[in-house]
Protein backbone atom coordinates (compact mmCIF):
# COMPACT_ATOMS: atom_id res chain seq x y z
CA UNK A 1 0.00 0.00 0.00
CA UNK A 2 1.29 3.49 -0.84
CA UNK A 3 0.80 5.92 2.04
CA UNK A 4 1.33 9.67 2.19
CA UNK A 5 1.90 11.14 5.65
CA UNK A 6 1.22 14.85 5.88
CA UNK A 7 3.27 16.00 8.87
CA UNK A 8 5.40 12.86 8.78
CA UNK A 9 8.39 14.52 10.44
CA UNK A 10 6.42 15.34 13.60
CA UNK A 11 6.09 13.27 16.76
CA UNK A 12 3.20 11.00 15.79
CA UNK A 13 3.84 11.21 12.03
CA UNK A 14 7.46 10.03 12.30
CA UNK A 15 6.42 7.03 14.40
CA UNK A 16 3.73 6.17 11.84
CA UNK A 17 6.21 6.40 8.97
CA UNK A 18 8.65 4.04 10.66
CA UNK A 19 5.93 1.51 11.47
CA UNK A 20 4.37 1.61 8.00
CA UNK A 21 7.79 1.12 6.40
CA UNK A 22 8.58 -1.78 8.73
CA UNK A 23 5.25 -3.34 7.68
CA UNK A 24 6.34 -3.20 4.03
CA UNK A 25 4.29 -0.20 2.86
CA UNK A 26 5.55 2.39 0.37
CA UNK A 27 5.70 5.70 2.27
CA UNK A 28 6.34 9.30 1.34
CA UNK A 29 6.27 12.28 3.66
CA UNK A 30 5.19 15.88 3.18
CA UNK A 31 6.28 18.28 5.91
CA UNK A 32 7.29 21.94 6.08
CA UNK A 33 9.78 21.19 8.92
CA UNK A 34 8.60 24.34 10.70
CA UNK A 35 7.75 22.29 13.79
CA UNK A 36 10.02 19.32 13.11
CA UNK A 37 13.51 18.31 12.07
CA UNK A 38 14.87 16.50 9.02
CA UNK A 39 16.51 14.10 11.49
CA UNK A 40 13.05 12.76 12.30
CA UNK A 41 12.40 11.70 8.70
CA UNK A 42 12.99 8.00 8.09
CA UNK A 43 15.66 7.55 5.43
CA UNK A 44 13.61 4.88 3.66
CA UNK A 45 10.79 7.31 2.85
CA UNK A 46 10.64 9.82 0.03
CA UNK A 47 10.47 13.30 1.47
CA UNK A 48 8.94 16.52 0.15
CA UNK A 49 9.57 19.68 2.14
CA UNK A 50 6.43 21.69 1.50
CA UNK A 51 3.78 23.79 3.22
CA UNK A 52 0.37 22.12 2.97
CA UNK A 53 -1.11 25.40 1.70
CA UNK A 54 1.13 25.27 -1.37
CA UNK A 55 -0.67 24.25 -4.58
CA UNK A 56 2.34 22.08 -5.45
CA UNK A 57 0.99 19.61 -2.90
CA UNK A 58 -1.77 18.66 -5.31
CA UNK A 59 0.83 18.06 -8.01
CA UNK A 60 2.76 15.75 -5.68
CA UNK A 61 -0.34 13.73 -4.82
CA UNK A 62 -1.28 13.37 -8.49
CA UNK A 63 2.25 12.25 -9.30
CA UNK A 64 2.49 9.76 -6.43
CA UNK A 65 -1.12 8.51 -6.43
CA UNK A 66 -1.20 7.21 -2.82
CA UNK A 67 -3.81 4.75 -1.64
CA UNK A 68 -4.06 6.46 1.75
CA UNK A 69 -3.31 9.99 2.96
CA UNK A 70 -2.69 10.29 6.70
CA UNK A 71 -3.13 13.91 7.74
CA UNK A 72 -1.13 14.56 10.90
CA UNK A 73 -0.04 18.10 10.21
CA UNK A 74 -0.37 20.40 13.19
CA UNK A 75 0.55 24.02 13.81
CA UNK A 76 1.64 24.76 17.33
CA UNK A 77 0.04 27.66 19.13
CA UNK A 78 1.76 30.93 18.30
CA UNK A 79 2.33 32.62 21.64
CA UNK A 80 4.27 35.43 19.97
CA UNK A 81 1.36 36.56 17.80
CA UNK A 82 -1.06 39.28 18.90
CA UNK A 83 -4.31 37.77 20.15
CA UNK A 84 -6.31 39.17 17.23
CA UNK A 85 -4.03 37.37 14.72
CA UNK A 86 -3.99 33.91 16.33
CA UNK A 87 -7.36 32.81 14.93
CA UNK A 88 -6.53 33.90 11.37
CA UNK A 89 -3.12 32.23 11.47
CA UNK A 90 -4.58 28.99 12.83
CA UNK A 91 -7.47 28.90 10.34
CA UNK A 92 -5.10 29.56 7.44
CA UNK A 93 -3.06 26.49 8.31
CA UNK A 94 -5.65 24.07 9.67
CA UNK A 95 -8.58 24.91 7.41
CA UNK A 96 -7.18 26.35 4.17
CA UNK A 97 -4.30 23.89 4.33
CA UNK A 98 -6.65 20.97 4.95
CA UNK A 99 -8.91 21.94 2.04
CA UNK A 100 -5.85 22.00 -0.20
CA UNK A 101 -5.01 18.45 0.95
CA UNK A 102 -8.59 17.28 0.43
CA UNK A 103 -8.72 18.74 -3.07
CA UNK A 104 -5.44 16.96 -3.78
CA UNK A 105 -6.90 13.68 -2.54
CA UNK A 106 -9.90 14.00 -4.85
CA UNK A 107 -7.73 14.95 -7.81
CA UNK A 108 -5.40 12.00 -7.22
CA UNK A 109 -8.25 9.50 -6.63
CA UNK A 110 -6.96 8.71 -3.13
CA UNK A 111 -8.74 5.75 -1.59
CA UNK A 112 -8.85 6.94 2.02
CA UNK A 113 -8.11 9.97 4.19
CA UNK A 114 -7.09 9.56 7.86
CA UNK A 115 -7.60 12.83 9.72
CA UNK A 116 -6.00 13.44 13.12
CA UNK A 117 -8.40 15.75 14.90
CA UNK A 118 -8.20 17.15 18.44
CA UNK A 119 -8.62 15.41 21.77
CA UNK A 120 -10.36 15.95 25.08
CA UNK A 121 -10.13 19.75 24.77
CA UNK A 122 -12.73 19.57 21.99
CA UNK A 123 -15.38 18.89 24.62
CA UNK A 124 -14.74 21.99 26.72
CA UNK A 125 -16.60 21.82 30.00
CA UNK A 126 -19.61 19.90 28.69
CA UNK A 127 -18.12 16.47 29.19
CA UNK A 128 -18.49 16.75 32.96
CA UNK A 129 -21.39 19.18 33.19
CA UNK A 130 -23.89 16.55 34.25
CA UNK A 131 -23.68 14.86 37.64
CA UNK A 132 -19.90 15.08 37.73
CA UNK A 133 -19.56 12.93 34.60
CA UNK A 134 -16.12 13.32 33.03
CA UNK A 135 -16.27 10.52 30.42
CA UNK A 136 -16.93 11.66 26.85
CA UNK A 137 -17.90 9.43 23.94
CA UNK A 138 -18.05 10.44 20.30
CA UNK A 139 -21.65 11.66 20.69
CA UNK A 140 -20.87 14.02 23.58
CA UNK A 141 -21.57 17.61 22.44
CA UNK A 142 -18.46 19.48 21.38
CA UNK A 143 -17.51 22.82 22.88
CA UNK A 144 -14.05 23.86 21.62
CA UNK A 145 -12.56 26.80 23.53
CA UNK A 146 -9.38 27.62 21.57
CA UNK A 147 -8.78 28.55 17.90
CA UNK A 148 -6.81 25.33 17.32
CA UNK A 149 -9.71 23.22 18.63
CA UNK A 150 -12.31 25.22 16.70
CA UNK A 151 -10.38 24.68 13.47
CA UNK A 152 -10.07 20.95 14.18
CA UNK A 153 -13.84 20.65 14.60
CA UNK A 154 -14.35 22.60 11.37
CA UNK A 155 -11.78 20.31 9.73
CA UNK A 156 -13.80 17.25 10.72
CA UNK A 157 -16.84 18.65 8.95
CA UNK A 158 -14.85 19.46 5.83
CA UNK A 159 -13.60 15.86 5.77
CA UNK A 160 -17.17 14.57 6.07
CA UNK A 161 -18.27 16.99 3.35
CA UNK A 162 -15.68 15.56 0.94
CA UNK A 163 -16.90 12.05 1.74
CA UNK A 164 -20.50 13.01 1.04
CA UNK A 165 -19.94 14.90 -2.20
CA UNK A 166 -16.76 13.37 -3.64
CA UNK A 167 -16.79 9.84 -2.21
CA UNK A 168 -13.50 10.25 -0.32
CA UNK A 169 -13.51 7.56 2.39
CA UNK A 170 -12.26 8.82 5.74
CA UNK A 171 -11.53 7.98 9.35
CA UNK A 172 -11.36 10.78 11.92
CA UNK A 173 -9.26 10.09 15.00
CA UNK A 174 -9.56 12.07 18.22
CA UNK A 175 -6.51 11.34 20.33
CA UNK A 176 -6.09 11.45 24.07
CA UNK A 177 -2.90 13.18 25.27
CA UNK A 178 -0.18 11.21 23.49
CA UNK A 179 3.12 10.70 25.32
CA UNK A 180 6.38 8.92 24.53
CA UNK A 181 8.17 11.73 22.68
CA UNK A 182 11.93 12.01 23.02
CA UNK A 183 12.92 14.90 20.79
CA UNK A 184 13.07 18.11 22.84
CA UNK A 185 11.97 20.15 19.82
CA UNK A 186 8.69 18.19 19.73
CA UNK A 187 7.89 18.30 23.45
CA UNK A 188 4.19 18.85 24.06
CA UNK A 189 3.26 16.42 26.80
CA UNK A 190 3.89 17.49 30.42
CA UNK A 191 5.70 14.21 31.14
CA UNK A 192 8.49 15.24 28.76
CA UNK A 193 8.81 18.60 30.49
CA UNK A 194 8.98 16.90 33.90
CA UNK A 195 11.75 14.52 32.82
CA UNK A 196 13.88 17.17 31.12
CA UNK A 197 13.55 19.55 34.06
CA UNK A 198 14.33 16.94 36.71
CA UNK A 199 17.35 15.65 34.78
CA UNK A 200 18.63 19.23 34.91
CA UNK A 201 18.10 19.19 38.69
CA UNK A 202 15.51 21.97 38.47
CA UNK A 203 12.04 22.25 40.00
CA UNK A 204 9.24 21.86 37.41
CA UNK A 205 6.43 24.39 37.46
CA UNK A 206 2.88 23.04 37.45
CA UNK A 207 0.41 25.75 36.55
CA UNK A 208 -3.35 25.67 37.01
CA UNK A 209 -5.35 22.77 38.42
CA UNK A 210 -2.94 19.93 39.19
CA UNK A 211 -5.91 17.71 40.07
CA UNK A 212 -7.60 17.91 36.66
CA UNK A 213 -8.15 14.40 35.31
CA UNK A 214 -7.14 13.71 31.70
CA UNK A 215 -6.68 10.72 29.43
CA UNK A 216 -3.12 9.81 28.40
CA UNK A 217 -2.09 7.19 25.85
CA UNK A 218 1.34 5.85 24.90
CA UNK A 219 2.58 6.46 21.34
CA UNK A 220 2.95 2.73 20.56
CA UNK A 221 -0.77 2.19 21.14
CA UNK A 222 -1.58 5.16 18.88
CA UNK A 223 0.56 3.67 16.11
CA UNK A 224 -1.10 0.27 16.50
CA UNK A 225 -4.52 1.89 16.07
CA UNK A 226 -3.37 3.68 12.92
CA UNK A 227 -2.24 0.39 11.42
CA UNK A 228 -5.77 -0.95 11.93
CA UNK A 229 -7.30 2.20 10.44
CA UNK A 230 -5.66 1.53 7.08
CA UNK A 231 -8.34 -1.07 6.36
CA UNK A 232 -11.00 -0.52 9.04
CA UNK A 233 -13.16 2.19 10.55
CA UNK A 234 -14.35 3.64 7.26
CA UNK A 235 -16.29 6.92 7.60
CA UNK A 236 -16.13 6.75 11.38
CA UNK A 237 -15.07 9.25 14.05
CA UNK A 238 -13.51 7.58 17.05
CA UNK A 239 -11.43 8.08 20.16
CA UNK A 240 -7.95 6.62 20.38
CA UNK A 241 -7.42 6.70 24.11
CA UNK A 242 -6.55 4.69 27.19
CA UNK A 243 -9.99 5.23 28.71
CA UNK A 244 -8.26 6.00 32.02
CA UNK A 245 -7.71 9.33 33.73
CA UNK A 246 -4.74 10.70 35.64
CA UNK A 247 -3.86 14.07 37.14
CA UNK A 248 -0.74 16.15 36.58
CA UNK A 249 0.16 15.43 40.18
CA UNK A 250 0.00 11.68 39.52
CA UNK A 251 2.10 12.06 36.37
CA UNK A 252 4.72 14.00 38.28
CA UNK A 253 4.87 11.56 41.16
CA UNK A 254 5.35 8.68 38.71
CA UNK A 255 8.21 10.48 36.96
CA UNK A 256 9.82 11.50 40.24
CA UNK A 257 9.71 7.91 41.48
CA UNK A 258 11.23 6.51 38.29
CA UNK A 259 14.04 9.09 38.33
CA UNK A 260 14.53 8.57 42.07
CA UNK A 261 14.56 12.21 42.98
CA UNK A 262 13.13 14.14 45.91
CA UNK A 263 12.69 17.38 43.98
CA UNK A 264 9.26 18.90 44.56
CA UNK A 265 7.47 20.91 41.84
CA UNK A 266 6.36 24.51 42.15
CA UNK A 267 2.56 24.71 42.06
CA UNK A 268 1.08 27.92 40.66
CA UNK A 269 -2.70 27.96 40.94
CA UNK A 270 -5.04 30.00 38.77
CA UNK A 271 -8.43 30.54 40.35
CA UNK A 272 -9.72 32.14 37.14
CA UNK A 273 -9.40 28.90 35.18
CA UNK A 274 -12.29 26.45 35.50
CA UNK A 275 -11.31 22.86 36.20
CA UNK A 276 -11.87 20.84 33.01
CA UNK A 277 -11.43 17.09 33.45
CA UNK A 278 -12.19 14.62 30.67
CA UNK A 279 -11.63 10.95 29.85
CA UNK A 280 -12.25 9.66 26.33
CA UNK A 281 -14.33 6.51 25.98
CA UNK A 282 -12.63 4.19 23.44
CA UNK A 283 -15.43 1.62 23.14
CA UNK A 284 -16.11 2.45 19.48
CA UNK A 285 -12.47 2.02 18.45
CA UNK A 286 -12.28 -1.28 20.29
CA UNK A 287 -15.34 -2.52 18.37
CA UNK A 288 -14.65 -1.09 14.91
CA UNK A 289 -10.88 -1.59 14.77
CA UNK A 290 -10.59 -4.72 16.94
CA UNK A 291 -7.97 -2.66 18.78
CA UNK A 292 -7.31 -1.93 22.41
CA UNK A 293 -4.50 -0.13 24.26
CA UNK A 294 -1.90 -2.66 25.39
CA UNK A 295 0.36 -0.40 27.47
CA UNK A 296 -1.02 0.61 30.85
CA UNK A 297 -0.08 3.70 32.82
CA UNK A 298 2.71 2.05 34.84
CA UNK A 299 4.44 0.43 31.87
CA UNK A 300 3.90 3.51 29.69
CA UNK A 301 5.56 5.75 32.27
CA UNK A 302 8.49 3.37 32.54
CA UNK A 303 9.01 3.19 28.77
CA UNK A 304 8.57 6.92 28.23
CA UNK A 305 10.96 7.94 31.01
CA UNK A 306 13.54 5.35 29.91
CA UNK A 307 13.47 6.54 26.28
CA UNK A 308 13.62 10.20 27.26
CA UNK A 309 16.47 9.66 29.67
CA UNK A 310 18.47 7.70 27.10
CA UNK A 311 17.87 10.38 24.47
CA UNK A 312 18.90 13.22 26.78
CA UNK A 313 22.05 11.38 27.87
CA UNK A 314 22.96 10.55 24.26
CA UNK A 315 22.49 14.11 23.00
CA UNK A 316 24.32 15.57 26.01
CA UNK A 317 27.44 13.58 25.18
CA UNK A 318 27.12 13.69 21.40
CA UNK A 319 30.19 15.93 21.03
CA UNK A 320 32.37 13.10 22.34
CA UNK A 321 31.23 10.71 19.62
CA UNK A 322 32.82 10.63 16.18
CA UNK A 323 30.62 11.32 13.17
CA UNK A 324 29.16 8.20 11.62
CA UNK A 325 27.40 7.84 8.25
CA UNK A 326 23.66 8.35 8.57
CA UNK A 327 21.23 7.40 5.85
CA UNK A 328 19.55 10.62 4.74
CA UNK A 329 15.94 10.88 3.62
CA UNK A 330 15.29 10.59 -0.10
CA UNK A 331 14.81 14.30 -0.78
CA UNK A 332 12.56 14.96 -3.75
CA UNK A 333 12.53 18.35 -5.45
CA UNK A 334 9.15 19.96 -5.94
CA UNK A 335 8.46 21.47 -9.34
Give yes or no for residue 193 having a pLDDT over 70.
yes
Which one is predicted more confidently, 82 or 216?
A: 216
Question: 96 vs 74, 152, 285, CA distance in Å?
Answer: 13, 12, 29
C-beta separation of 300 from 308 below 8 A: no
pLDDT digits (tens, 9 = 90+) for 125-175: 654 444 455 899 999 999 998 899 999 999 999 999 999 999 999 999 999
Q: How high is the mean pLDDT of the chain?
A: 88
pLDDT digits (tens, 9 = 90+) for 33-81: 987 888 889 999 999 999 999 999 999 999 999 999 999 997 665 556 6
Q: Would you state the pLDDT for residue 7?
A: 94
* Residues in Cβ contact with 34 at an 8 Å cutoff, skipping those fewer than 6 apart: 51, 75
pLDDT digits (tens, 9 = 90+) for 268-303: 876 555 667 899 999 999 999 999 999 999 999 999
Stretch 21-32: mean pLDDT: 97
CA angle 236, 159, 149 (to 5 degrees): 90
* Residues in Cβ contact with 292 at an 8 Å cutoff, skipping those fewer than 6 apart: 282, 286
Whose CA is closest to 119, among 26, 291, 238, 266?
A: 238
Q: Would you state the pLDDT for residue 78?
A: 55
Q: Would you state the pLDDT for residue 276?
A: 77
Which one is predicted more confidently, 274 or 241?
A: 241
**What count of Cα atoms within 13 Å lies in the side-chain half-sphere of residue 47?**
24
Q: Beta partners for 5?
A: 29, 70
H/E element, 306: helix 297-316
Q: Would you state the pLDDT for residue 60?
A: 98
Give yes or no for residue 321 having a pLDDT over 50.
no
How large a percentage of the chain has pLDDT more than 90? 65
Residue 245: CB atoms within 10 A of its CB come to 21
Whose CA is closest to 229, among 26, 20, 65, 8?
A: 20
C-beta separation of 127 from 120 below 8 A: yes
- CA dist 130 and 42 (Å) reads 46
pTM: 0.90
- Domains defined along the chain, listed by start: 2-319 (3.40.50.720)
Give yes or no for residue 216 having a pLDDT over 80.
yes
* Residues in Cβ contact with 238 at an 8 Å cutoff, skipping those fewer than 6 apart: 138, 171, 172, 173, 174, 282, 284, 285, 288, 289
Stretch 74-89: mean pLDDT: 71
C-beta separation of 285 from 224 below 8 A: no
Q: Would you state the pLDDT for residue 277?
A: 87
Q: Would you state the pLDDT for residue 156?
A: 98
C-beta separation of 58 from 104 below 8 A: yes
- CA dist 16 and 287 (Å) reads 22
**Long-range residue pairs from 194-197, CB within 8 A, at least 24 positions apart, any chain:** 194/251, 194/252, 194/255, 194/256, 194/265, 195/255, 195/259, 195/304, 195/305, 195/308, 195/309, 195/312, 196/308, 196/312
Amino acid sequence: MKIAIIGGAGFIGSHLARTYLNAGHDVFIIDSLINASLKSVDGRARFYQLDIRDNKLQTILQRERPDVVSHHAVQREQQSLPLNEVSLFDADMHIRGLINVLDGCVGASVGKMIFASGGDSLYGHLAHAHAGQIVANEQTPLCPQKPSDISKVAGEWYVRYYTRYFGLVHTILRYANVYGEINSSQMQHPLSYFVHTLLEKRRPIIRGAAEEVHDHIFIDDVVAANLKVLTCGHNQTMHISSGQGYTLHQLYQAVRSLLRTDIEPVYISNTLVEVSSCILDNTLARHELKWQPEIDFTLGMQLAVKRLKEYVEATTHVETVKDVPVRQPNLISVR
